[in-house]
Structure 1
Amino acid sequence: MIYRFGAYELDTAMFELRCGGAPVAIEPQVFNVLTHLVEHRDRIVSRDDLIAAVWGGRAVSDTTLSSRIFALRRAVGDTGEAQDVIRTVPRRGFRFVADLDPGPAGPAPDGGNGINGEGANLHTPAVPAAPPETHLATAMPILAVLPFKIASEGLDRYFCDGLTEDVISNLTQFRELRVIASGSSFHFRERDLPLPEIAKSLGADYVVDGSVRREGDRLRVAVHLVETATGLTLWADRYDRELEDIFVLQDAMTHMIAASLGVRMQTTALSRAMRKSPSELDAYDCLLKARRYTVTLNEDMHAEARDLLEKAIALDPNYAEAFALLANVYLAEHRFNANPRPDPIGRALAMALKAVQLDPQSAYAHCWLAIVHFFSKDSAQFEAEMQRALDLNPNDPEILAEAGHYLSFLGNFDQGTELSNRARQLNPLHPGWYHFSFALLHYRQGRFEDVLADVERISMPSFYWTHLLNAAALGQLGRKEAAASLDQMKSVKAGISAASEIRKWNIPDADFEHLMQGLRKAGHDE
């Protein structure tokens, strides 16, 4: 069934909410809440009714329910003050109050209500057809997550389904993936068909399969990622935790699994793109190849990355992630003086604003709009946009690390290092620049030996900031190697003004003077 209200369409058959024809990012449970409220719009729906319909009667806290209502209002452009779509009736429940457009609508193909495929026989291959819009102009990977299997006694279906739904929900926050909704993938709970046939039915390029086992007071979740074209397992991992608060555990595990899958999917897609000739590259391939520069900050790759991303937005003028990454690459002309052209901040701002306009739900777009504001010396706008990015995807280690990185440069080490730590935990094979937050903190604390260790972990010899920090720490320690480190800084960045570079990064005055003191002790004459 398709329900239309205002600019929105709720398509229960496709498990999709659209605004102006474009899909809106929405968590599965939030979608289910909206569906239930719309289908029962003729009455007030009580808290207990919602929990029974959406959570299958599981124990759910008021905080959880409130967060889903908040997320629902945000998804449909409503607020707690306006309540033009979802109205709270104190002490009674909630009601859908927007006017429905009486335009044409059709029944869901399974004859049910569209929530988690209820009404369909989950034990038969009565499978929904693959979505007609399987690949967009930019052919991003399509991923299906099958319901996690119960591998031992002491667990119920609701827990495993909840774990699967939460993994799907967290993966939808990675805008470079298209994730099949649980309403479709849950049709294959029993694995009645071979995995390649399941993937074909769902239109998926990759399938995530997993199982949950309870052993005493520990919970073990095994997950593997399969490439459907070859049947090869590309990645597998196990997550082992003490079984204390089951819902806290579920939340922690889903964040870890989603982050690991998100990172792994990017790596897998890049390896595919690298095998293509220039004439075969689509917009997504161009973006992936350009990412090699943003990971390494190797200036030799900058011009190629810029060309690739300009090609990407020409191939697909609606590709928000490409505009956001181009903002990153344009901004490098200012941040690192990499192949500069006129007005890099202005061009970066235009790209970031376009990315946010194209996809207001893109965490990556908001992240890079925030960083442009950082270098425009607008700290308030930086913090607001970065918080928006973190709200949209709290599981992307790159966004967490960027936030931690720039907050630390601003001197907000409490929040900055906390975010950097979370990024490292979610991406154990992280790039070295994740350690900058800690190097800056240790320098402020006078822990100069730790700064030297941090610089080794950063391991970016072509980036002048590593030599700057190393030279300042060595200078503070009175080491004779300090002069050599200064020479390396000047070799990497000919004609560098250390004072101007440090000021560019909005470092507080006291930290600026502290760094310059270390550089002068190393022999720097500025």
Structure 2
Amino acid sequence: MESARPGLHGGELAVQVRMLGPLTISRAGSVVPQPSSRKLRALIAYLALAPHALNRAHLCELLWDVPNDPRGELRWCLSKARTLLDDAGRRRIETAQDTVRLDLGDCYVDVTDIGQAMQQGIDTLDTDRLRALSALFIGDFLEGLEIDRSALFNNWLTAQRRRLRACHAAVLEHLAATLPTGSQERFACLDKWLQLAPFDRHAHELVLHALGTRAQWREGEEHLAAAVRAFEADGLDWRPLRDKWRDIRAQQATLPPGNAETSGARASLPGQSHGAGTNVCRASIAVMPFVDRSAHAGVRGGLADGLAYDIITRLAKLRSLFVIAQGTVFALDQRSVGPEEAGRTLNVDYVVSGSLRRQAKRIAVDVELVESRTARIVWADVFDHTLDDAFLALDEIGNRIVASIEIEIETAERNRAILKPPSSLDAWEAHHRGLWHMYRFNRADNEQARHFFEMAVRLDPTFSRAYAGLSFTHWQNAFQCWSEQKPAIDLAFETAGQGLIADNRDPAAHWAMGRALWLRGQPDQSMIELQSAVDLSPNFALGHYTLGFVNCQSGDAEAAIGSSDYSRHLSPFDPLLFGMLAVRAIALVRLGQHEEAADWAVKAAARPNAHVHILAIAAHCLALVGRIDEALAFVAAIHKTHPSYRVADLLAAFRLTPDAEALFRKGAKRIGIS
């Protein structure tokens, strides 16, 4: 359900639904008398936030504890809801077959307004918009609307309240960052923030900073002492707060008289600057224990806990993220700390949470990745699997979740880095800026990528992932003939080796070395390195793809297809998806399945970042099966940017067997590029 945001408070729309505080429905500026039925109010709120139409059976299970006639009670509630929300010419309660939907697209809904602001980017909002959003939080979500013996609804209510408290904290954090350091409004904002998130270290640091800039040393000492007592009582590490206060006192002591009030007038948010010249500051992530919707309340140690532990372990093996240990997140969960609060308490960039349910012989896992400081949902999905073997099912789901988390975080970090001035980047940000350019697969962007990867390893010589990226740019220069091949191959090998020296357990470092060895004409050694990459991290999609890349040309063609399919299964929206599809096409050519090869090659060429060799594979595969007009269209597209391109260019790039080379030459003759 979507609602338009009319101005800041929805004043232009006749119908307004507010769920922060008690549920309130207004028409033409007048509050409609609140219905006495708690289940009616609960039904309206639940339908208002549902993303799609809901089955009547689900709504009955949600709100009625096996009454005599749950469907009859649901019908009664829907008829009453219509009197509250429908107009003469506008039906907002929609029923079709056995489903129910509430369409509030032409109404103002406070919670939807907040959710849209979070998803669109809270860090892009100005002070007035942040103030207006903050003013919406007049109370808890659906205050006082818990329903006896309706566990499913109460669980939903708790989750929504946690989510909205996280949104409120994010609004206050970003509002505080726009206000002058010493202003009373900023202190009031920080106070509200700490009431919502009493263990958010960043909030305490900003309070201490504000007190320090005003030279209120006694108040700062008192705030620190109170925070230390609270952190200590909850078993949390308070030492970073003490160290921060010492730094503030030391910094203020070096300022000229009168400059204390203006220093740091606008506080930076986490992630805005990690500090150039320091070791890489990787993105951090906490994976909270999953909720087993099939288990009895309070029962732990089952499939859901096992899945969370598996995801934590697999993420740690990627070596690209700072992953909070299992013991810490499980301890927070046992104290009923929700994912949103845990993210702020642990001061991590991202939080993963989810639930698991078993039905008959299937298992379904709902998972969500949230950016802690903005309360923005970065990614959410549902994974469904047969439950013939529970451990195999969880292994498969775990692989897919971890691969998705890696690519979604990489995308988010790339998009953030591209917005920053190059001179302000730290090693982590420079690396992701390099990835942004690298995945465009053209000569100019590849050169830009090389520049940023070199910046990353200069800022942190121990950053193995940046060496892998740098090796890839040299690999591209050699493979695409963008520079002299021999020096480019040597540089690809040299920088891959530096990545392995920096971290021999990073799968990306072994991946880079595997590609470099293939360039050097050493396919057997290449396969050993690539196998090491996937052994270190079984969900490393690029490792599986590159195993297929090597096999499809001169190795096991059937194995190449398996690797291609699995890499796409792990990362269905990967920037290198065109390569994964092309691997399958080449392997099918070698297996004599030319018609199928042509179809897959066309899919590869349709990807927006497919380079000239991918277009050439499509043209040759189409030519082999007599689809000449389609093939010639690809040839024309190739010649727009590479007028002299011939089959020799394709064969020089790849390491095909003699039989496969002969097939591609045969196709080239049919379309005039032999």
**Same structural fold, with TM-score higher than 0.5 when normalized by the shorter chain:** yes
Q: Give 1:359 shift.
A: 0.2
Q: Does 1:392 align with 2:392?
A: no
Deviation track 1:85-115 (CA, whole Å, cap 9, x = no partner) reads xxxxxxxxxxxxxxxxxxxxxxxxxxxxxxx
Task: Quote the residue 1:469 is aligned against.
Answer: 617
Deviation track 1:261-287 (CA, whole Å, cap 9, x = no partner) reads 111111111121122121222222222
2:584 corresponds, among 430, 433, 438, to 438
Unaligned runs of 5+ residues in structure 1 are 1-123
CA distance in 2, matches of 1:451, 1:131: 58
Q: In 2 relative to 1, CA 186–130 (structure 1 residues): closer, same or farther, beyond 3 Å?
A: farther
Q: In 2 relative to 1, CA 258–194 (structure 1 residues): closer, same or farther, beyond 3 Å?
A: closer
Deviation track 1:448-496 (CA, whole Å, cap 9, x = no partner) reads 4333322331125762222322332333334442445334334433444
Q: Retained in 1: the 8 A contact 2:285–2:349? A: yes
Deviation track 1:8-52 (CA, whole Å, cap 9, x = no partner) reads xxxxxxxxxxxxxxxxxxxxxxxxxxxxxxxxxxxxxxxxxxxxx
Aligned residues: 402
CA distance in 1, matches of 2:458, 2:431: 12
2:671 corresponds, among 500, 522, 525, to 522
Q: Retained in 2: the 8 A contact 1:154–1:214? A: no
Q: In 2 relative to 1, CA 370–253 (structure 1 residues): closer, same or farther, beyond 3 Å?
A: same
Q: Retained in 2: the 8 A contact 1:474–1:522? A: no
Aligned amino acid, residue 444 of structure 1: R
Residue 157 of structure 1 aligns to a residue in which SS? coil
Q: Give 1:327 shift.
A: 0.5
CA distance in 2, matches of 1:446, 1:319: 44
CA distance in 1, matches of 2:360, 2:621: 50
CA distance in 2, matches of 1:162, 1:294: 36
Q: Does 1:218 align with 2:367?
A: no
Aligned amino acid, residue 157 of structure 1: R
CA distance in 1, matches of 2:382, 2:239: 30
Q: Give 1:197 shift.
A: 4.1
CA distance in 2, matches of 1:324, 1:129: 37
Q: In 2 relative to 1, CA 244–479 (structure 1 residues): closer, same or farther, beyond 3 Å?
A: closer
Residue 189 of structure 1 aligns to a residue in which SS? helix
Task: Quote the residue 2:313 is aligned against.
Answer: 169
1:138 corresponds, among 280, 292, 311, to 280
Q: Retained in 1: the 8 A contact 2:602–2:618? A: no
1:149 corresponds, among 275, 286, 291, to 291
CA distance in 2, matches of 1:489, 1:267: 29
Q: Give 1:497 shift.
A: 4.8
CA distance in 2, matches of 1:183, 1:340: 52
Aligned amino acid, residue 348 of structure 2: A
Q: Retained in 1: the 8 A contact 2:647–2:664? A: no
CA distance in 2, matches of 1:217, 1:471: 45
Over aligned residue pairs, what C-alpha RMSD do you find? 2.6
Q: In 2 relative to 1, CA 152–487 (structure 1 residues): closer, same or farther, beyond 3 Å?
A: closer
Deviation track 1:152-188 (CA, whole Å, cap 9, x = no partner) reads 3369521222211101011112222111110211111
Q: Retained in 2: the 8 A contact 1:206–1:228? A: yes
Q: Give 1:296 shift.
A: 3.5
CA distance in 2, matches of 1:474, 1:456: 8
Q: In 2 relative to 1, CA 503–341 (structure 1 residues): closer, same or farther, beyond 3 Å?
A: closer
Q: Does 1:227 align with 2:336?
A: no
CA distance in 2, matches of 1:248, 1:473: 37
Q: Give 1:341 shift.
A: 8.0
1:253 corresponds, among 397, 420, 426, to 397
Write 1 or 2 for the structure with the bigger share of helix: 2
Q: State the percentage of identical aligned residues.
A: 26
Task: Quote the residue 1:417 is aligned against.
Answer: 561
CA distance in 2, matches of 1:257, 1:291: 22
Aligned amino acid, residue 310 of structure 2: D
CA distance in 2, matches of 1:205, 1:274: 18
Q: Give 1:388 shift.
A: 0.8
Task: Quote the residue 1:126 is aligned against.
Answer: 235
CA distance in 2, matches of 1:396, 1:233: 23
Q: Give 1:403 shift.
A: 1.8
CA distance in 2, matches of 1:485, 1:328: 27
Residue 525 of structure 2 aligns to a residue in which SS? helix
Q: Give 1:220 shift.
A: 2.2
Q: In 2 relative to 1, CA 362–434 (structure 1 residues): closer, same or farther, beyond 3 Å?
A: same
Aligned amino acid, residue 447 of structure 2: A
Q: Retained in 1: the 8 A contact 2:541–2:570? A: yes
Task: Quote the residue 1:343 is aligned against.
Answer: 487
Q: How does 1:281-360 map to 2 (within 5 A)?
A: 281-340=425-484, 343-360=487-504
CA distance in 2, matches of 1:258, 1:247: 16
Q: TM-score, normalised by structure 2?
A: 0.56
Q: In 2 relative to 1, CA 377–357 (structure 1 residues): closer, same or farther, beyond 3 Å?
A: same
Q: Retained in 1: the 8 A contact 2:514–2:525? A: yes
Residue 176 of structure 1 aligns to a residue in which SS? coil
Q: In 2 relative to 1, CA 200–501 (structure 1 residues): closer, same or farther, beyond 3 Å?
A: same
Q: Retained in 2: the 8 A contact 1:313–1:319? A: yes
Q: In 2 relative to 1, CA 154–407 (structure 1 residues): closer, same or farther, beyond 3 Å?
A: farther
Q: In 2 relative to 1, CA 512–222 (structure 1 residues): closer, same or farther, beyond 3 Å?
A: same
CA distance in 1, matches of 2:391, 2:455: 45
